[in-house]
Structure 1
């Protein structure tokens, strides 16, 4: 029914794309309009009913129309711009149905652990001796000294490398049915909950949050994104949604690579904030404000720019001309 309803539009788009060099005036406007509609159709088909033959047909058609509109030259700077303007935000936005629930679950678990630790002296005693806890939570103690333990430049590089490895692990190990991702998330939730709980029990929870918030908002969001996309990759192994597992994993894998490259940049920003802003002499409201601003900019990039790109048919995957050839299969 869907194919029958739109076949005429697709055939017309194919004709216009084939003769793009002679298209002028109203036909040029028609070419752009039909291209946008076909890109939307491709997005719908990929999401709702991913028939491999139809996806391959529409992908080729959309790629031909895009080339006809923009020209055949594709310099590196243009691909670089398209990646950050459309493909990356679309991949982040479409992955939101996985990483947003992951974030909510993580925060709920961390909060429960923090309350448990802060209100239970027996639990605190099982974590460390009272003298050790005092050394960690006192003014200038381990929790505070951590952020100024090394020169800012080397500390930023160290933090960025560590977080990049965690994000890469969440993304790539997701293919193992998502099990390693759950363990990585649990370890991070446990550490965060224990830290907040111990500092709160010492009457210094506000200090801990003031140190965590500037960089932690963006840093944790990057971890949530990596974990959610990794879990989606694991679910693809279980349910390839009408595709062969090889085809599904290839498509998801390319999106994973796009997200990984984007998170490298996000974590570089959070690492710089952690090294230069968190331990700085700025008042707490200013440090937290910088962290909140960075987080809001990232969320706007995902849910405003990414939503617009997704509506244009972007999925975070590469152009059809760079992807693998797909043979029609019976479903």
Structure 2
């Protein structure tokens, strides 16, 4: 491509877009023109990058498009449509794209927890080094159940939500380092395994699962999602694939933000179940049934809605119109 001829042919259009982008006020017709010229200049930038990637011209057009995009967006406000779009497209699309990371994390933790409980049951001496006989008796008799009814339901639900959101935030934020996520998971699973083994040893296994499963299915799934996505963030710079490490890390970092916002809503649901359903006088089958319904609804959300959203191009990253234009550099 003859770059000089291309610049001469389109320089007037670029100047016009620059003029519109710098105006303080635009009429309706001028706003439409701004959007139309923005799209055409974006095509011009793509052509230049592909055929004649002159760094100075690419930088100029990228800067022009950035100003035009900011001007066209104006004071963007969050609408109910954008919120609905987040929960029907961006968040489920992210969960579906990263499904193998968090499903693998979930499966590994379930297996490890089961092995730990069986090992503790086969080695009762370990339990005696962790808790005194009096503490074990108190845990079995009242402490485990009283934990769920010690506070008012709404206060307990808020407390649980904040705590689980904090654990999930740690898994996501520390994911870039990898090992801290594994440590956090081990700490939580070790506590669960110790309590589970003690309850089973004292013939309170059904009671243990009856109190844990109503909220625990969705709650633990959300934490495993956070851990899996955090580990994917770590892997994004270890093995970036066909992207640069910076680009790979940036993409997964933006997706982490998407997942963090979405999980806050998921954990709110599990917190409400833990605050109002787990300690309720409902029969065990009904309480566990509510937990199973919540878990199945979440999985359907991922594998039905999320799969469809991912097929439409929603993968948890920001929309391309909100990303910075990438500037080509000479090799």
TM-score (norm 2): 0.75
Distance 1:330 1:163, change over 3 A: farther
Offset at 1:149? 1.1
> Distance between the aligned counterparts of 2:320 and 2:183, measured in 1?
35
Deviations 1:215-256 (A, max 9, x none): 000000000100000000001121122222222222111111
Q: Higher mean Cα deviation, 116-125 or 160-169?
A: 116-125
1:193–1:330 distance in 2 versus 1, CA, 3 Å: farther
2:156 aligned with 1:167, yes or no?
no
Alignment partners' CA distance in 2, 1:171 and 1:282 = 35
Matched, 1:110 2:113: yes
Q: 1:84 to 1:330 in 2, by over 3 A?
A: farther
SS of 1:299's partner is: helix
Measured at CA, do residues 323 and 206 of structure 1 come closer, stay the same or move farther in structure 2, by a change above 3 Å? same
Tell me which residue corresponds to 1:81.
84
The residue that corresponds to 1:301 in the other structure is 301
How far apart, in 1, do the equivalents of 2:204 and 2:277 lie?
A: 20
Shift of 1:192: 1.1
8 Å contact kept, 1:119–1:201: no
Give the corresponding residue for 1:289. Answer: 289
1:158 aligned residue: 159
The 1-side partners of 2:78 and 2:105 are apart by 37
For the residue of structure 1 that corresponds to 2:319, the secondary structure is coil
Which sections of structure 1, spanning at least 5 residues, go unmatched?
A: 1-72
Query: What is the CA–CA distance in structure 2 between the aligned matches of 1:306 and 1:287, rounded to whole Å?
Result: 27
Q: Equivalent residue for 2:325?
A: 325
- Aligned-residue offset at 1:307: 0.7
Aligned residue for 2:322, secondary structure, equals: coil
Distance apart, 1:82 and its partner CA:
1.2
Deviations, residues 145-171 of structure 1 (Å, cap 9, x unaligned): 100111111111110000000000001
Q: Secondary structure at the match of 1:148?
A: coil
Deviation at 1:330, TM superposition (A): 8.4
Contact 1:88–1:262, Cα closer than 8 Å, also in 2: yes
Task: Quote how far apart the aligned CAs of 1:75 are.
Answer: 6.5
Contact 1:99 1:227 in 2 (8 A): yes
Between Structure 1 and Structure 2, whose CA radius of gyration is higher?
Answer: 2
Is 1:149 the counterpart of 2:150? The answer is yes
- 1:202 matched to which residue of 2? 202
Distance 2:133 2:78 in 1: 62
Deviations 1:51-76 (A, max 9, x none): xxxxxxxxxxxxxxxxxxxxxx9962
For the 8 Å contact 2:105–2:227, the answer to whether it is kept is yes
Q: Deviations over 1:5-35 (max 9, x none)?
A: xxxxxxxxxxxxxxxxxxxxxxxxxxxxxxx
**Per the alignment, do residues 268 and 251 of structure 1 end up closer, same or farther by CA in structure 2, a change over 3 Å counting?**
same
Relative to structure 1, the CA distance from residue 75 to residue 188 in structure 2 (aligned partners, 3 Å threshold; closer, same or farther) is closer
Describe how 1:39-54 pairs up with structure 2 within 5 A: none
Q: Report the secondary structure of 1:321's partner residue.
A: helix
Partner of 2:6: none
**Structure 2, gaps ≥5 residues long:** 1-75
TM-score computed with the length of structure 1 as normaliser? 0.75
Shift of 1:119: 2.7
Hey, what's the Cα distance between the residues in 2 that align with 1:309 and 1:272? 27
Matching residue of 1:228: 228
What is the RMSD of the two structures over their aligned residues, measured on CA atoms?
Answer: 1.9
Note the alpha carbon deviations across 1:274-307, whole angstroms, 9 max, x for none.
0100000000000000000000000000011101
Mapped partners of 2:173, 2:242: distance in 1: 23
Report what 1:241 is aligned to.
241
Question: Are the counterparts in 1 of residues 237 and 246 from structure 2 also a CA contact under 8 Å?
Answer: no
Per-residue CA distance 1:87-139 (angstroms, 9 max, x = gap): 1000011111101010011011111111112232211211211221111112x
Q: State the number of aligned residues.
A: 258
Are the counterparts in 1 of residues 102 and 228 from structure 2 also a CA contact under 8 Å? yes
Q: Mean Cα displacement is larger for which, 215-224 or 126-135?
A: 126-135
